[in-house]
Amino acid sequence: MEWSLEDIEKASQINSSFYIPTLKERKSQKKGDLVRLHFLVTNHSEDSPVLKECGLK
């Protein structure tokens, strides 16, 4: 299985209901702040997800 991070700026342009914080908010993240990452999984088995969302602090 291989993975990469999803381009969330591109995803939000394609799907207007997909919310992301403003660029200013994203650039002001500090150590200990909660962030959400979207992993795109490739070469996966049929029973595994293609996209996995994960919150990190």
Break the chain into its structural domains and give their ranges.
2-56
Q: What is the pTM of this model?
A: 0.60
Reading the chain (57 residues) residue by residue, the pLDDT tens digits are 778 888 988 888 888 787 888 999 999 999 899 888 888 877 766 766 565 666 665
Reference 1, options 35, 46, 53; nearest CA is 46
CA distance 14 to 23: 17
